[in-house]
Structure 1
Amino acid sequence: MDIKDKIAVQLYSVRKEMEQDLEGTFKKIHDVGFRFVQLDGMRGNDPAEVLRLLNKYELKVVGMHIKHDRFMNDLEGIVSEAYYFGCKTIFDKYIEEEDQTTAGYQATKKALIQAAQKLTELGFRIGLHNPEYDFNEQINGRYVMDFITDPVNGISIYAEPDTYWIRAAGHDEVEFIKRYSGRAPIVHMKDFISGFELEDMDHNLVEIGQGEVNFRAIIEWGEASGVEYYCIEQDRSKRNMFETLEASYHYLLAL
């Protein structure tokens, strides 16, 4: 498979643009070359209009980020939304701060395992995306992501590792990510440059290819380890977001 058929974009990157001009945003995403996207909410738009424009601009939803509390309280709604957008790969996007405790992590794992038990036979894949807390906090001697993705009675939660946060937490992303071989269908591709405070994303988050993450090695690992999509996520940019996404897209193509 050509690598261009495996590069996706997380629409969180263009959340502000979607609020202001949904059709223009999807057209520009298409014009960059993307054909695969991850959803991250409607950003104030009617879901029917979002779906219409995704179809118009030939953008296929390959993953969905779902708010954490909905896995606790709205599993039926998640399923309906997933069917509506034709995507059964769904991730808990971020464990809210009030649940970043031992009890919260245990409750999260229980909710995700229960969701997987109900939905796996329907073809769903339930996963967890990792921001910063997953890599240096531990529960029962395990990093948070490892604890939550450890199997229970043969049921496992998929991982969605994020190269930026792995590096920001002080780990070698190439070595660390190997623990998710065969169970990470989507990897978030984000670059990092050291020398700034962890919270200073205006400086330590840079365009792909401008920082320290070894994306060539990540792709080599991914091609041998079952990765289906390399998903570009750019939380913020120092220039026009579409220029940044285009630069990142072509950098990965060039690899």
Structure 2
Amino acid sequence: MTAIHDKLAVQLYSVRHEMAEDLEGTFQKLSDIGFRNVQLDGMRGNNRAEVLRLLEKYRFNVIGMHIKHDRFLNDLDGIVDEAYFFGCKTIFDKYIEEEDQNLAGYEKTKRTLLDAVARLHGLGFRVGLHNPEYDFNDRVYGRRVMDYLTDPENGLCVYAEPDTYWISAAGHDSVEYVKRYSGRAPIVHMKDFRSGFELEDMANNLVEIGDGEVDFAAIIAWGERHGVEYYCIEQDRSDLNMFESLKKSRDYLLKLM
């Protein structure tokens, strides 16, 4: 059985600027903090062979990959090639582009993702969807977008990657909301939220884990009973040095665990 502390991960979007400036230094600092699991989010201008070399040097386990929406529409073979290259078969549509945030776009997205599931599940792939706040409030045929897109169909399932910050920003209780994804959310994005500010004011409403209002102890307790494999820290921005921010969030979760 995997120890709880081994289930913590970091989404590399958090250190996108740092990766662009100093790839090895970034990986070394993440390793020094104690991270062993990472979720990829693009190469940030680096050669993918160099990214893989350093992932292996610092003994990181790639637990998932965020892929741009248009690549699922137009480059599934390229996604598969990249997934095999990094040894990771858990792939997520990063977010639905603005031009597809409408009925036709959501229908197309569901068809596209289910087609990817049908083509790839026999190879051991898991296809999922990450989401911003509109997916929790906009509706398609009476269903919230995130639910519509992840509703099983003909025995096929698009996995959910619930994000505690965006659920909270949408006005929902993140602990209650994730319960609908029992067994269908191998990775949960751990991000804290502080109310009282405009949605766009991420300088104030997005805070380090433990400084906001999300009940992470309850999220973890639920996750341990319902199939969550990794709790992935993502910090879009911070007033702290990003490595200090990630360490603070990781330390808080370790205390809970």
TM-score between the two structures when normalised by the length of structure 2? 0.99
CA distance in 1 between partners of 2:152 and 2:176 (Å): 21
Structure-to-structure mapping, 1:14-163, within 5 angstroms:
14-163=15-164
* 2:193 corresponds to 1:208: no
Partner of 2:43, secondary structure, is coil
Q: Specify the SS of the correspondent of 2:64.
A: strand
1:200 CA drift (Å): 0.6
Please give the secondary structure, in 1, of the residue aligned with 2:235. Answer: coil
Report % sequence identity. Answer: 73
Aligned residue pairs, count: 255
Match of 1:224 in 2: 225
Alpha-carbon distance in 2 for matches of 1:221, 1:151: 21
Alignment of 1:170-249 (within 5 A): 170-249=171-250
State the distance in 1 between where 2:3 and 2:216 align.
Answer: 16
Partner Cα separation in structure 2 for residue 59 and residue 201 of structure 1: 29
Deviation at 1:49, TM superposition (A): 0.2
Q: How far has the Cα of 1:133 moved from its partner?
A: 1.2
The answer for unaligned runs of 5 or more in structure 1 is none
Ranges in structure 2 where 5+ consecutive residues have no aligned partner: none
Separation in structure 1 between the aligned mates of residue 50 and residue 207 of structure 2, nearest angstrom: 32
SS in 2 for 1:133: helix
Deviations 1:181-215 (A, max 9, x none): 10000000000000000011011000000000000
Separation in 1, partners of 2:245, 2:112: 36
Offset at residue 4 of structure 1 (A): 1.3
User: What letter corresponds to residue 208 of structure 1 in structure 2?
Assistant: I
C-alpha separation in 1, matches of 2:218 and 2:38: 23
The Cα of 1:3 is off from its aligned counterpart by: 1.4
CA distance in 2, matches of 1:29, 1:132: 28
Alpha-carbon separation, structure 2, partners of 1:244 and 1:189? 13
Q: How big is each residue's C-alpha offset from its partner over 1:29-81, in whole Å with a ceiling of 9 and x where there is no partner? A: 00000000000000000000000000001111100000000000000000000
Matched, 1:251 2:248: no
CA distance in 2, matches of 1:154, 1:182: 14
Report the secondary structure of 1:8's partner residue: strand
Following the alignment from structure 1 to structure 2, what is the Cα–Cα distance between the partners of residues 40 and 14?
A: 10
Give the Cα separation in 2 of the matches to 1:55 and 1:131.
31
With normalisation by structure 1, the TM-score equals 0.99
Residues in 2 aligned to 1:153 and 1:182: alpha-carbon distance in whole angstroms? 17
Structure 1's consecutive aligned runs of 4 or more residues displaced over 3 angstroms after TM superposition are none
